[in-house]
Amino acid sequence: MTDSTADAAVLRLADIGFDAPRALLARYHLTLHEVPADAPIPGSYWGDDEAGIIASNVYARAATPLHSLLHESCHLIVLPPEVRAKVHTDATDSLAEEDATCYLQIVLADELPGFGRARAFADMDRWGYSFRLGSARAWFEHDAENARNWLIEHRLLTVEGAPRVP
Domain containing 55: what range?
11-153
Which tens digits make up the pLDDT trace of 6-37? Answer: 456 899 999 999 999 999 999 999 999 999 99
Distances from the Cα of 107 to the Cαs of 9, 54, 79, 139, in angstroms? Answer: 21, 23, 17, 13
Q: Could you tell me if residue 89 is inside a domain?
A: yes
Q: Could you tell me if residue 161 is inside a domain?
A: no
Q: Could you tell me if residue 104 is inside a domain?
A: yes
What's the pTM value of the predicted model, to 2 decimals?
Answer: 0.92
| Residue 4: per-residue pLDDT | 44
| Residue 134: per-residue pLDDT | 83
Mark the ranges of the chain whose per-residue pLDDT is less than 70.
Answer: 1-8
Task: Please count the structural domains in the chain.
Answer: 1
Q: Could you tell me if residue 142 is inside a domain?
A: yes
Which tens digits make up the pLDDT trace of 115-130? Answer: 999 999 999 999 887 7
The answer to whether 102 and 96 are in contact (CB under 8 A) is: no
